[in-house]
Each structure stands twice: as C-alpha cells, then as structure tokens.
C-alpha cells in the first residue's frame, strides 16, 4: 500500500509540473498515454516508464487576444455602419454635429466609406465657439479635403469672429456666467444649425462608457413628444479603446492634439492633457505611456470642463448641447397655438416699455432650458391675471434692445410694466404663486 501511494503521488506531481511548464511555454499538456497500474507489479513500471506527456496544440495567447479584439471591432463596425445606413435610408436631412474628437473621427470615416459625405446625404455641422484650439479649425480643413465635403459652420449669433464676440459679450463671459456662455456660444448656434439644415435625424458620437448622463443610451432615440428630432448614436456600445483600435487599424485622420496628450478636445480655455504632464499620447497610431489614464471607464472627458461648475455647485460634465431637453425646441417657439401669452413685435415692445398700461413681459430664448421650464407656469400665470396684459418678446435675436429696455442679461427675464417703469423680477423662484405675488405687489390685479 505504501508503495502504491508513493507511486500515485509521484504521478500526480509529475503531471502538475508538466502542466505548469506547458502553460508557460505555450504547450497544452495531455494525459493520453498515461495509465496508472494498481497491481503490485506496477512499481517497477513507474520507474521505467514515468509519465508520457504529449503536446497537443500550440497556444499563442497574444494572437488569440488580438483575434478576439479584431472580431469585436468587426462586429462594432458593422453595427455602427448599419445604424448609419438605417438613418440615412429612412430619413431626410441627417446631420452630424462634429467636434472632431476621436469618436467623431470614427463616425466621419464610416460615413465617408459609405459615400454619404460626398453625396451630402450626411451633412457635417461644426459649432465654432471662438474659444477652440487653433488646431481644431485647421484639422477641419484637413478632413474636408480628405473626405470631400464642406462643413456647415455656426457661431454665436451676430458675430463673424472673436473680435466681434468680445465686443458684444465680453472676453470673460465664460468666467462670469458659464451657463450663459454655453447658451450663446454652444447651444444657440447648435440649435440654429439644426434648424437651418432642417435636421430630421441628428447623428452624434455619444457612448455609454462616457458615463454620467450617457451611461444608458442606445443606438437610436425617438423624437420626444412636443418637438425635437430622432437621434442616432452609432458608437453607443463602443469603448474609447475601441475608437482608437479602429483609428489605428484604418489609419484615419485624427486631431493632432491627441499626439500632445489630450484624450478629448473642447475649448482651449478649459481643456487639459491627461495626465497634465502630457506623458500619455497617441502618436503614429500607437499609444505612448500608461494608456489606462485615457481608456478607463468615464475617463475620456477627465480633461474637459476643468475648473467649471454648474450654478448648483455640481461639477460640469456637459456643455449643454446634449443634456435632456436641449434639442426640444429647435424647431418650435414657446407660448404658441392658443396661448394666453401675447407675442410682441419690436415696435410693440418699444411702445409698451414707455406705456402707462400695466403689463407683464417675459424676455426669452426658445432654446434656453430655463425658458422651456418656465413655459407652463407662465402660461398659467397669464390665465390667472384678468385684465393684465401678459406678453413675450424673443430677446436672443435682439440682445442690445432687451438689455437696454428690459433689464435683460440672461434668459428668461420677467418684468412688470407699471406707469412707464420696467420692474425686473429678481427671484429664481418661477412657480405661479411666486410670480403672481410679484405682479400683485407692483400692479393692481382684478380679484
């Protein structure tokens, strides 16, 4: 029995050693040919034959991993192209707002391969905030030439260049009121662009691995009730690493700042390299440095919106273009179709500001999410104020006038007109009760 137990231990140990060695050198062990004898005569045979180990197959772990990644990328590529095809073949006026970041470069290439850029079936739209890196607009020229398209560029309303913008709004608006800056330089031009191009479907590069507001997006999003458009997110299920894998595999044009340490590119004023020493770069279609600094979940935009915060103190993660409701009113006005809120022309607004009549006027912009939120409450206020004129005037198209005559620096601004005096509502409380209390404090309202 002792001899037998010793023999079994020897065989097991030999098998374990062989298995470990085979994994290290890339050879899978086999126990075919191995036979344990339990008779007394087996002891000499063990010493004589030991254990037969036969190699079965070569195992190249790196090759297998690369094959798996290639298969995944091929699947994602087909899925994205199918989503683009479905959008183009079933809708008119597909518009792709392109920020020229890595994912947008992937979508640009896919659209180019499908022939949709040269034919204009997919229109490229670019918002120039006047605060972009100089390299960004130069890169736009490069991809226009490479893919054979001409982008539609939109900027702050009424400003043809940075000098005009600075004269009108001030160079430091983004420091003084970042939400107002977003509205003027990003959201309004964005909405105006969609409207000008008669957008039926908006294509964009949002992905689930961006996290935050984007963590559960799908390939397609239906148009919301009450206005808006359908969206297609061709890269919804991709990762940031997938984007760079595609870029490297296809050697497509990418933004030059990736080679200088920037994982994502936005406004120069609040975008930094990650890490800040620029030690991670994507150069000649290869990563240099610790690439996980860029590729970890929700890491792509770590270098964006640096030092910026929302009014509620929360960290800024969106510019306002892609937040819920941002596209809700690009193709409609506020307080329309039977509304109790009257629309003022320019001459009526000028006359009302000097009038002895009592009135309540909201100065608004239809793309502004705060104006959108105010719409139902202000409508209800108009219904409750018997004998008082309740009106609206669109201020984003006439900023100098509303600033001078209607106390307006941001939207919405609500004023009471009393005896030719324009009195501004200063509170952020915009419920019916609060608004009505302000009106009744300043003018007489019929019971």
Distance CA 436, CA 379 (A): 12
Residue with tokens 């979940």: 297
User: What is the CA 346 to chain-centroid distance, rounded?
Assistant: 37
**pLDDT value at residue 337:** 83
Which of 283-292, 385-394, 409-418 tops mean pLDDT? Answer: 283-292
**pLDDT value at position 103?**
97
- pLDDT higher than 90, residue 112: yes
Tell me what the mean pLDDT of segment 62-84 comes to: 94
> Above 50 in pLDDT, residue 25?
no
pTM, whole model, 2 decimals? 0.65
pLDDT attached to residue 397: 77
- Burial of residue 296 (number of CB atoms within 10 Å: 0-12, 13-18, 19+): middle
Using DSSP's 3-state secondary structure scheme, residue 407 falls into coil
- Rg of the chain (C-alpha set): 32
Higher pLDDT, 19 or 136: 136
Bigger pLDDT: 38 or 431?
Answer: 431
Instruction: Pick the closest to residue 236 from 213, 215, 202, 206 (CA basis).
Output: 206
pLDDT at 164 over 80: yes
CA distance 166 to 173: 9
The answer to whether 335 and 341 have CB atoms below 8 angstroms apart is yes
Q: Quick check: 339 pLDDT over 50?
A: yes
pLDDT at 38 exceeding the cut of 50:
no
The yes-or-no verdict on residue 368 having pLDDT over 50 is yes
In sequence order, the β-bridge partners of residue 325 are: none
416 upstream amide cis, omega within 30 of 0:
no
Q: Is the pLDDT of residue 224 over 60?
A: no
């Amino acid at each position: 029995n002792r001899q037998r137990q010793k023999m079994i231990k020897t065989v097991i140990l030999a098998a374990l050693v062989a298995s470990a060695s085979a994994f290290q050198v890339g050879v899978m062990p086999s126990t075919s040919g191995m036979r344990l004898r339990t008779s007394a005569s087996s002891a000499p045979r063990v010493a004589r034959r030991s254990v037969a180990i036969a190699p079965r197959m070569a195992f190249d772990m790196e090759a297998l991993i690369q094959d798996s990644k290639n298969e995944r990328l091929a699947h994602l590529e087909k899925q994205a192209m199918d989503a683009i095809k479905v959008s183009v073949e079933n809708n008119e006026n597909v518009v792709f707002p392109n920020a020229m970041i890595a994912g947008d470069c992937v979508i640009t290439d896919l659209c180019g391969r499908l022939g949709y850029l040269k034919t204009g079936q997919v229109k490229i739209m670019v918002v120039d905030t006047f605060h972009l890196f100089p390299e960004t607009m130069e890169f736009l020229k490069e991809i226009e030439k490479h893919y054979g398209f001409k982008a539609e560029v939109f900027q702050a309303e009424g400003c043809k260049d940075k000098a005009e913008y600075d004269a009108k709004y001030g160079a430091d608006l983004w420091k003084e009121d970042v939400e107002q800056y977003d509205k003027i330089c990003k959201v309004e031009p964005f909405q105006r662009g969609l409207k000008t191009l008669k957008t039926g479907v908006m294509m964009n590069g949002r992905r689930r691995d961006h996290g935050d507001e984007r963590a559960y997006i799908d390939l397609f999003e239906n148009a919301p009730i009450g206005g808006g458009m359908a969206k297609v997110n061709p890269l919804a299920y991709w990762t940031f690493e997938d984007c760079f894998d595609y870029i490297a595999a296809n050697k497509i044009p990418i933004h030059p700042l990736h080679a200088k340490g920037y994982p994502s590119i936005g406004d120069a004023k609040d975008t930094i390299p990650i890490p800040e020493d620029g030690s991670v770069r994507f150069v000649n279609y290869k990563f240099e440095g610790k690439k996980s600094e860029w590729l970890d979940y929700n890491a792509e935009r770590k270098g964006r919106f640096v030092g910026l915060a929302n009014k509620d103190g929360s960290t800024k993660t969106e510019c306002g273009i892609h937040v819920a409701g941002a596209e809700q009113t690009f193709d409609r006005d506020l307080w329309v179709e039977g509304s109790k809120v009257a629309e003022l022309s320019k001459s009526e607004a000028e006359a009302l500001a000097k009038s002895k009549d009592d009135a309540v006027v909201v100065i608004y912009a239809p793309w502004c999410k705060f104006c959108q939120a105010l719409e139902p409450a202000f409508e209800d206020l108009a219904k409750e104020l018997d004998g008082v004129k309740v009106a609206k005037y669109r201020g984003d198209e006439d900023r100098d006038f509303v600033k001078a005559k209607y106390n307006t620096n941001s939207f919405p601004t609500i004023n009471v007109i009393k005896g030719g005096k324009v009195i501004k509502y200063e509170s952020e409380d915009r419920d019916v009760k609060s608004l009505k209390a302000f009106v009744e404090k300043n003018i007489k309202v019929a019971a």
